[in-house]
Structure 1
Amino acid sequence: MTATDAARPASTLRAAYEAASAVVRDLGDEESWLPTGCTGWAIRDLVFHCLMDAQRGLVALHTPADRPVDRDAVTYWRDWRPDTSGAANGRRWARVSASMFLDFGQLRELYLETTAAAVRAAHAADPARRVATQGHVLTAGDLITTLAVEATVHHLDLTVALPLAPGPSPEGLTALRATLDGLLGTPAPPQWSDTHYARVGTGRAALTEAERAALGAAAERFPLFG
């Protein structure tokens, strides 16, 4: 592995977080109440969730593990399925917790500070080092990739009601597409855009009948995670 290859997950995370931060940085309190692509969440709820994910990444990057790796950047997502009791509980927790920030500006600044810190930690980490998060062990490089993928998915969610907002980073979309292909076990139809694949792959949109026919038995695996 070259130095360039080793740095790639951290560079992907930097691009993903900087793209999302460019959206969040300009949001005011009124805009923070707009809906998102996540069921039941306003923008402020989703920003809180993304803040917690960046914080989790910071903790994980400083939590070395002595157990064998049991997940990689693709298999990590097999635990995350939509419409489970855990997903519903997470939605409620984020809504209640985000509501404690009476001034959205406080939440916005904490998000910006935490994502910036997570990027610095990612660049400082040895990508091959084993780290622990959510009951699993991954290499730091794979963990960093999962953070970039989540940030990219939620960037699309964040901008549902913000048509003029900038989109996700190309690096984040590439990592997301590779993750979905890994879960599917084969590349998606090449005519699918990255954003369309992201939405159907994570359950944000349903496959059309034509898409189901083209995918055959693989259609039953959708959504691939959510």
Structure 2
Amino acid sequence: MSEPLGLLTTAYRDLSEVLSSLRVEEGWEPTGCAGWTPVDLGFHLLSDARRALVALNSPATGLADTDAVSYWTAWQPPAPGDEEELWSTRVAASVHGGLAGIAGRYAETSAAVLVAAARVASSDLVATQGRVLTVADLLSTLTVEAAVHHLDLVLRLHRPGPAAAPLAEVRRVLEGLLGGPLPAGWDDVTAARRGTGREPLTAGDRAELGNDAAAFPLFG
């Protein structure tokens, strides 16, 4: 199993297990995404897995125009009006059978993504969201998305967080965006949360980062 596929396998497996373990009443707890519940976030994750399945079956030609790091420059913290996306997500989630229905579909779809990823070469080019990148870089973006949202999902729930390897990939991408190392005192969970704006930088962080503090959040 290639390293990018191995990372995604771990991230998807762990996230699927958490989603499948949630009780109905836990579906309405707060998450690390402001205003989003586990039901909302679960449907967002299902949509991302469906996009991944389409991307892996959308070969591209020419040259890649983005990679595992630069992909994230387009994703910034929510802007005014983004609450409309939340409401449309909540409505769509409600017709998918709630948490149980979403968890089942996520398990099926994420498993299909892994099968599709195993059938293509890591250097193959694929298209997604109007951009072209290698399969290896696509799998990294999917791993980062899954790991960050796994942290969001378990913020108020007594469930395990993402494994060390996917979290290390989040840190690698964040450091690529920053152009240098994150503070050594941050563990990978802290790096993921502060690097994406889910936790504010402390005064000590800002002093250590210096001018680089202005770049935060690195993506959101």
TM-score, normalised with respect to structure 1: 0.93
Unaligned stretches of 5+ residues in structure 1: none
Which residue identity lines up with residue 149 of structure 1 in the other structure?
V
- Does 1:150 find its partner at 2:145? yes
Equivalent residues in 2 for 1:40-119, closer than 5 Å: 40-85=35-80, 87-119=82-114
Distance in 1 (CA, whole Å) between partners of 2:76 and 2:65 is 18
Question: Conserved in 1, the CA contact under 8 Å of 2:42 and 2:99?
Answer: no
Q: In the TM superposition, what whole-angstrom CA distance separates every residue of 1:137-168 from its partner, at most 9, and x where no partner exists?
A: 00011001100000000000000111x21110
Which residue identity lines up with residue 219 of structure 1 in the other structure?
A
- Does 1:177 find its partner at 2:160? no
The 1:38/1:145 distance shift into structure 2, 3 A limit, reads same
- What count of residue pairs does the alignment treat as equivalent? 220
Give, in angstroms, the shift of residue 89 of structure 1.
4.0
**1:212 aligned to which of 195, 199, 206:** 206
Give, in angstroms, the shift of residue 126 of structure 1.
0.8
Equivalent residues in 2 for 1:163-174, closer than 5 Å: 164-174=158-168
Q: In the TM superposition, what whole-angstrom CA distance separates every residue of 1:100-142 from its partner, at most 9, and x where no partner exists?
A: 2344321110011111111121222211011000010000110
Question: Conserved in 2, the CA contact under 8 Å of 1:22 and 1:166?
Answer: no
Which residue identity lines up with residue 107 of structure 1 in the other structure?
I
Which residue identity lines up with residue 14 of structure 2 in the other structure?
A
Distance in 2 (CA, whole Å) between partners of 1:198 and 1:208 is 15
Which residue identity lines up with residue 207 of structure 2 in the other structure?
A
Unaligned stretches of 5+ residues in structure 2: none
Aligned match of 1:23: 18
Secondary structure at the counterpart of residue 24 of structure 2:
coil
Give, in angstroms, the shift of residue 99 of structure 1.
2.2
TM-score, normalised with respect to structure 2: 0.95
Give, in angstroms, the shift of residue 56 of structure 1.
0.5
Which residue identity lines up with residue 213 of structure 2 in the other structure?
A
Question: Conserved in 2, the CA contact under 8 Å of 1:11 and 1:123?
Answer: no
Which residue identity lines up with residue 193 of structure 2 in the other structure?
R
Question: Conserved in 1, the CA contact under 8 Å of 2:150 and 2:161?
Answer: yes
Q: In the TM superposition, what whole-angstrom CA distance separates every residue of 1:60-101 from its partner, at most 9, and x where no partner exists?
A: 000001232110000000000013257444333222211223
Distance in 1 (CA, whole Å) between partners of 2:80 and 2:135 is 29
Residue identity over aligned pairs, in percent, reads 47
The 1:192/1:141 distance shift into structure 2, 3 A limit, reads same
Question: Conserved in 1, the CA contact under 8 Å of 2:39 and 2:98?
Answer: no
Distance in 2 (CA, whole Å) between partners of 1:216 and 1:202 is 18
RMSD: 1.4
Question: Conserved in 2, the CA contact under 8 Å of 1:10 and 1:123?
Answer: yes
